[in-house]
Amino acid sequence: MSNSIKLAILGLGTVGTGVINLINDNLNELKRRSGRDIIITEVGTRRQRDDIDTNIMQNSDLMAIAASDNVDIVIEVIGGTTLAKDVIMQAIKNGKHVVTANKALLAEHGNEIFAFAEENNVHVAYEAAVAGGIPIIKVMREGLAANKIEWLAGIINGTGNFIMTEMRDKGRPFADVLSEAQALGYAEADPTFDVEGIDAAHKLALLASIAFGIPLQFDKVYCEGITGITLQDVNYAEELGYRIKHLGFAVRRDSENDGDAGVELRVHPTLIPQDALLANVNGVKNAVLVNSHPLGQTLYCGDGAGAGATASAVMADVMDLVRVLGSKDRDDQSNSNQSNHGHHVPHLAFIPDQLSDTPILRADQMVTGYYLRVHAYDSPGVLADITRILSDAGINIDAILQKPAHKVGQVPVIILTLPVVESQMNLAIEKIEKLETITDKVVRIRLDELA
């Protein structure tokens, strides 16, 4: 049995460099925990770096590295969904275990990648793909393995959380905070993936598959961003005892009483109670709240991005794979016919042939409460008309707040509703907007008590 495990790191950006630094800083701890020497033999980089140990081979040919006999585990941190996919498939074909932080790639092509890994008796580990340094993948696949997960809700994009926190705490408009987030490096020059919820949707697709044992279905995640959130709504929510967070939800709907049976996958701004655990996770922090039976609610919180957090998650996967390789070596020495694959949990937590075809619900089948902001002329009977329409649609009102006029003769009316199927709310809003007394489109934000 070889006493060393050889790593290749593909990509030397923030995360790749962070992995090198972590290994150098914690080399003795890693060996004490694994019983093996963990060494970097090759790195994939477009240009030669003079700050890399001369014992490490630098190569711009990533496909060659993925096939190298001098590599046991390939760490992919180049990003994207084209070259990264090709490199990972090449590594799998050549019997290499893979560690990746690439949530977009896995959300969109994970079913194919995981199936290919199963065929080749290797494993693709991806703790760093969701929520950075929070070990949420391991928690859900292993720590909660005996539980039935009913739902999860998460702040899984730090940029969006930073923006919503600054808007609430400092009364700053969206565009102003977004500019600062870009200046601080929290948001890209093109922030679409963050502020429109696409990044969170990639992560949610992974979490939902692990939670419910369903294939990855990123294309069925309902996605709504935070670009339309105003300070007005942030302040009204606070006045009513709520905070607005950009959340991802994966919800199991088993009962007809909760609407259609299936799974809700949705990312959107959400009002949640001010005293809720997630309401008090601020700044760029990430957090995932999981409700399972029989454990109940548990919260996992920490840094969701950055060199240290992501490198920590990458190396946690490496350590798991080191143990898998150690088990294989022991099996080989004892002439065991048991596959090394049996020493590791399945990619999506459930045995591959036991994945369920549970339907993913459409947006109009989702069930949530609602915050509605309606602007109307200040005239008799307006509120009665609105409440009648909601009542006729089977929508129960939880609270009503009428504010002073912002424009002469016009008043904003704020309504909170109890949970209702979205199709019913769509019809009600359509009727409200047709009232002659209504002066603008109805603003709607979903509401969840997280109970």
Catalytic residue annotation: 203
Bond into 412 cis (ω within 30): no
Annotated binding-site residue? 230: no
Nearest Cα to Cα of residue 248 among 177, 189, 178, 160: 160
Annotated binding-site residue? 10: yes
Annotated binding-site residue? 262: no
Query: CB of 186 within 8 A of CB of 162?
Result: yes
Q: How many residues does the chain have?
A: 451
Strand, helix or coil for residue 36: coil
Annotated binding-site residue? 77: no
Q: How far is CA 412 from the centre of its chain?
A: 34
Q: In angstroms, rounded to a whole number, what is the distance separating the alpha carbons of residues 71 and 373?
A: 58
Q: What does the CA dihedral 229, 235, 239, 244 come to, rounded to 10 degrees? A: 30
Q: E strand or H helix at 159, and its extent? A: helix 158-170
Annotated binding-site residue? 295: no
Strands 285-293 and 124-125: unpaired
Where do the DSSP E strands lie in 51-133? 57-59, 73-76, 97-100, 124-125
Annotated binding-site residue? 271: no
CA-CA-CA-CA torsion sign (60, 65, 66, 71): negative
Annotated binding-site residue? 17: yes
Annotated binding-site residue? 143: no
Alpha helices in 230-306 (DSSP H): 231-239
Count of Cβ atoms closer than 10 Å to residue 375 Cβ:
18
Annotated binding-site residue? 79: no
The conformation of residue 140, written as its DSSP 8-state character, comes to I
Q: Which single residue is written with the structure tokens 């039976």?
A: 293
Annotated binding-site residue? 185: no
Please give the annotated binding residues, written as ranges.
Answer: 10-17, 103, 188
Please give the annotated binding residues for NADP(+), written as ranges.
Answer: 10-17
Please give the annotated binding residues for L-homoserine, written as ranges.
Answer: 188
Please give the annotated binding residues for NADPH, written as ranges.
Answer: 103
